[in-house]
Amino acid sequence: MKLARIAKPLRSLQVRVTLAGDLNAELESYAHYYEHVHGDAVDSKALIPEILIAFLQADREFQTWARSGDSSHHRSRGPSSTNGDAKAQG
């Protein structure tokens, strides 16, 4: 067949998080910086998905792993750290 399989869109996920005061202040500051650079005000909450996308796209090690095609890696990853210290503790 000449038509490739049609990919089903992934479902969206609503996430509720509590940001520590200093992180919230940094996010608010980043929103002001965004306005300074682009001339448009933006709600700091709208920046969160964009920041996550930029982070994931910039992580070369993750991109290499994701492209590896080894589906066993895409299952449960075990315990994870919320602050990125898991690698340093190992």
pLDDT in tens, 49-84: 999 999 999 999 999 999 987 645 554 444 444 444
pLDDT reported for residue 24: 97
Burial class (CB in 10 A: 0-12, 13-18, 19+), 38: exposed
Q: What is the average pLDDT across 19-46?
A: 96
Helix or strand or coil: residue 77? coil
Higher per-residue confidence, 32 vs 80: 32
- Using 50, 70 and 90 to split pLDDT, how confident is the model at 1? confident
pTM assigned to the model: 0.63
Q: Indicate whether 30 pLDDT > 90.
A: yes
Q: Report the distance separating Cα 56 and Cα 62, nearest Å.
A: 7
